[in-house]
Amino acid sequence: MKTNVISEADLKLGRYRIDPEAPLLEVEDLHVEFRIEDGIVKAVNGLAYTLGKGETLAVLGESGSGKSVSHHAIMGILDTPPGYVTKGSVKFRGVELLAPHKKTGTLDHVVPEIRGTRVAMVFQDALTALNPVFTVGWQIGEMFRVHEGLSRKAAKQRAIEMMDRVKIPSAKERVNSYPHEFSGGMRQRVMIAMALSLDPEVIIADEPTTALDVTVQSQIMDLLKELQQDTGMGLVLITHDLAVVAEVADSVVVMYAGRRMEKGGIEEIFHSAAHPYTLGLMKSIARPDVHLERLEPIMGSPPDLLDIPPGCPFHPRCEYVIDRCRVEIPELYAIDEHHSSACFRWQEVQIHV
Amino acid sequence: MSDIRDDRAGVADPPDDDPKLYADTVRERVGTDIVAQQAAREEDHEHEFRQTPGLTVGLGEVPRQASLWGDAWRQLRRRPVFIISASLIVILVIISLFPALFATHDPRECNLIDSLLRPSSEHWFGTDLQGCDYYSRTIYGTRVSISIGIIVVFFSTIIAMIGGSIAGYFGGMMDSIIGRITDIWFVIPTILGGIVILSLVRTRGIMNVSLVLIVLGWATMLRLVRSSVLAVKANDYVDAARAMGASNSRMIIRHILPNAMAPVIIVAAINIGVVIAAEAALSFLGVGLQLPAISWGLMISTAQQRIITAPYLLVFPGIFLSVTVFSFILMGDALRDALDPKLR
């Protein structure tokens, strides 16, 4: 595990040298768009966050808010075309991952070395994210064969160890099973084993529990938490599930229409939300700690990303809307050191919480 | 449970003479029943325990290894269509590998005295104009058809797999270029194109004919590979593999092609039949293989001049040709059912 001792190999990342002092992941002003026949879909419009060692950051947003797409861009697995990173910066421990393309001027991911080894990803539906024609042992072992050049036999041995580590019972027997022979929870464990196999420093979990039922969800979240405590890795949790966020996250970025709406610690987001959208999300779920007569949905639906409303993208659905919201995009107002909100009327919103 | 109840019903039937014996039997039987039930319950319990969260397969039972091909094979073994076509193909392949085992005469040892004999016990399929044993010639003709079929399909599939996976995987410019070339190729009809190209060639052996059929035949296959690769590429596990740091070549070879192969194999099997028919057609038209090569197409071609006087000269190679083409197409169908039940 990556402990205090930093080896020379740890500092090397392809042809780059990493800065041991820098945070694990720094995302700044990330813009991603899809150029399709109907126009330009602006999927991500200025995402920014910093992930420190051992931290869990939840990226919260509804479908189409750009939370998955932005992380595909960070991993460099965006489908290009039609997807392009047009602006922004992503730094992994100080190493800039994006560089402008010579001809198009869009940003390319130029450090493929991080994939799997330094930053790994856990996908939502492990059934579709595992290759159906190979055994799980083969697939976990592939990590070791590709990145560490192990033999088939040694790789399989390591795969069994990894399966033990994510608590798959009788790993030795199950190593030769195919993905469809596992239950949903076990499959997600296989995914996690694959992601963890090379001791990455950051794991990006893209809705890791959405496809699972509630009891299995908490098992998987517990497992992730436990593994995180063991290894000190940073965890980016992409989700729309507030319960999951409440359970594990240290801080939260709330996304809407590809934009950061609010950013803050878990306490601040849940107890002193300063953005009408966050507030709306909080009102729309049942919470044991807050008494509500009835759940209030957020009226309307998310905007068409081909045609995002001018001004604040949330204004057509917002209770606090004023004329200024329709024309001007609110900047991120700092409320305190860690808490910020992209709302002109954040003070009023916070009072109403 | 039903077994146990049946047992009890049996016990309730008292033996007429000895009541004591009956009681003993009941005790004994019921006793064993209870033991059996207990055992069953324990087993159930254990089973339940094994089914607790996450564990889908009981620990005791060895999990059945069900890969795509394993499943397909299990399904194929039970299908008469597959058994029939596979046996026919195996027989045909053996014939083409060792024709001497089956032939009764040397196909090239002809005696004009025996010209145009009708089928008999000496010459099973009769003899042709030159007095050659027609059965032996038909047998030797298998080799040509099967080898052309396999060579052509093998190489055109390889071309298609390379081109199709590049076009499908990388998309964009690559896809457009390969796609347009394929489109242009697509408009050349195989037989007409074959006539044009082959009529320019002076000597036409198996290799020349195969080459022409490869050149004319890869386009359909390439389109299929491309669309199959596109479908597979959309899967999450391709993204996942990329996120885990797999290189492009590894992605194509390990993650995309194995999943894209099913339809390709199906069409390849059918194509063997189609190519064999095409070779026969070209030879029949006089632009395929040349005498003294032995081929069904050539035999049918010469036989047409005597269709009234010696119809068997047309019938026998015709039957062989039809059966061969038929069995490959049947095989393709059976494979499709097993590999891709949705297409049925």
pLDDT-derived band at A353 (thresholds 50, 70, 90) equals low
What residue ranges of chain A are covered by domains with CATH 3.40.50.300?
22-249
What pTM does this model have? 0.69
Position A87 scores a pLDDT of: 85
CA distance, residue B122 to nearest chain A CA (Å): 54
Contact B240 A189 (CB under 8 A): no
Cα–Cα nearest to B148, from B321, B304, B338 = B321
Interface membership of A128 toward B (CB under 8 Å): yes
Which residues from chain B sit within 8 angstroms of residue A195, using beta carbons?
244
pLDDT-derived band at A337 (thresholds 50, 70, 90) equals confident
Position A6 scores a pLDDT of: 55
Q: B182-240: per-residue pLDDT in tens?
A: 999 888 888 888 888 888 888 888 888 899 999 988 988 999 999 999 988 888 888 88
Name the residue with higher pLDDT: B103 or A69: A69
Position B163 scores a pLDDT of: 93
Q: A252-301: per-residue pLDDT in tens?
A: 999 888 888 888 888 888 888 888 888 888 888 777 776 767 777 888 88
Say yes or no to pLDDT of B27 above 60. Answer: no
Q: B61-94: per-residue pLDDT in tens?
A: 444 555 667 777 887 888 888 899 999 999 999 9
Q: A220-260: per-residue pLDDT in tens?
A: 888 888 888 888 888 998 888 888 888 888 899 998 888 88
**For chain A, what percent of residues have pLDDT higher than 70?**
95
The one-character DSSP state at B63 is P
Say yes or no to pLDDT of B99 above 60. Answer: yes
Nearest to A77 among B56, B239, B255 (CB): B239
3-state secondary structure chain A: CCCCCCCHHHHEECCEECCCCCCCEEEEEEEEEEEECCEEEEEEEEEEEEECCCCEEEEECCCCCCHHHHHHHHHCCCCCCCEEEEEEEEEECCEECEEECCCCCCEEECCHHHECCCEEEECCCHHHHCCCCCCHHHHHHHHHHHHHCCCHHHHHHHHHHHHHHCCCCCHHHHCCCCHHHCCHHHHHHHHHHHHHCCCCCEEEEECCCCCCCHHHHHHHHHHHHHHHHHHCCEEEEEECCHHHHHHHCCEEEEEECCEEEEEEEHHHHHHCCCCHHHHHHHHCCCCCCCCCCCCCCCCCCCCCCCCCCCCCCCHHHCCCCCHHHHHCCCCCEECCCCCEECCCCHHHHHHHC
A67, exposed or middle or buried, with CB in 10 Å at 0-12, 13-18, 19+? buried
Position A292 scores a pLDDT of: 66
Which residue in the block uniquely carries the two structure tokens 């006089």?
Answer: B286
Which residues from chain B sit within 8 angstroms of residue A203, using beta carbons?
none
Q: B275-288: per-residue pLDDT in tens?
A: 888 888 888 888 88
Interface membership of A219 toward B (CB under 8 Å): yes
Mean pLDDT of B94-102: 87
CATH topology of domain A22-249: Rossmann fold (3.40.50)
Mean pLDDT of A307-320: 84
Mean pLDDT of B133-149: 88
pLDDT-derived band at A310 (thresholds 50, 70, 90) equals confident
